[in-house]
Amino acid sequence: MPVTKSILRYPGGKTQLSKFVCNLISLNKITLPIYCEPFSGGSGVSMELLLTNKVDTVILNDLDPSIYSIWYAILHDTERLIDSIQSIPITMDQWYLQKEIYTNLQNRSEYNFKLALATLFLNRTNRGGIITGGPIGGYNQNSKYALNCRFNKTNIIKKINDIAKQRHRICLYMLDAKELIHKVLLTTPPNQLFTFFDPPYYHQGQALYKNGFKHNDHVNLAQAIRLMNHYKWITTYDECPEIQSIYTDYHLYTYKLRYSINQFRNANEYIFASPTTKITSHDKVRLI
């Protein structure tokens, strides 16, 4: 499993692409880089680039209030979050309680601390980090893997402190990606911005993520991304003919990425890039 500076375990997380993305930023000669993930999720790449000072600033965005609430709590409710993590028991009774809290609050449209804590608890105690995945070790806890095996409080708290210290370099939004493009990204200097679009998978997205996309959502997003053709960006997707058709006017690259959703597997994925973006193989990413 890739080591990440994020506190979240995220299905389909792209932490493995950190060195690849870092190389693209350098290859495209972006100065004082502003790095953006419109579908931030676990923000594995963002945190790697920020905390190793490979970029100057990061823009995080996630329309899911539960994910947004976690990042807001890290940045602006830090001590309360740390205190709650230190005191919370990692038990099945607590799992049921946090699941109920999450279910009741998940559709809030603003920051909520209880939602943040419940989401973090379930992310660290559920199989694959998937909120609907069920508890690690099963409901009877008769597996060799215990509920707390992915909940190392010391490591999580250290990561929170490391990220919170850089809050002045992080901009956080809870916008639809198309709205983020219009309101934020298109007002950012093109010579500084590098954007990594990582939308929900076409085929598995609705099962893995709360804000899964339907076909027209992917089409509408692609139309908005086209407005940024004079910017530097890449977009990754699962390999399927529907996505190939939507992005038919862009050069198609294919690469393999190792995942650990349910079990390790090597999956083919697509990468598309703006016409102004230089792109090449690097580290674990071999473009075909």
Whole-number pLDDT of residue 133: 86
Whole-number pLDDT of residue 242: 95
Whole-number pLDDT of residue 262: 46
Render pLDDT for 232-268 as a digit per residue (tens, 0 to 9).
Answer: 999 999 999 999 999 999 999 999 865 544 444 456 8
Render pLDDT for 137-192 as a digit per residue (tens, 0 to 9).
Answer: 999 999 999 999 999 999 999 999 999 999 999 999 999 999 999 999 999 999 99
Q: Is the pLDDT of residue 132 over 90?
A: no
User: What is the residue-averaged pLDDT of the chain?
Assistant: 92
Render pLDDT for 200-219 as a digit per residue (tens, 0 to 9).
Answer: 988 764 444 455 689 999 99
- The domains found in the chain, sorted by start residue, are 1-63+175-288 (3.40.50.150), 78-166 (no CATH)
From CA 173, how far away is CA 68, in angstroms rounded? 7
- pTM of this structure: 0.92
Summarize the confidence of residues 98-124 as an average pLDDT: 97
Q: Is the pLDDT of residue 11 over 70?
A: no
Whole-number pLDDT of residue 256: 80
Q: What percent of the chain has pLDDT over 90?
A: 82
Query: Which residue has better confidence, 85 or 210?
Result: 85
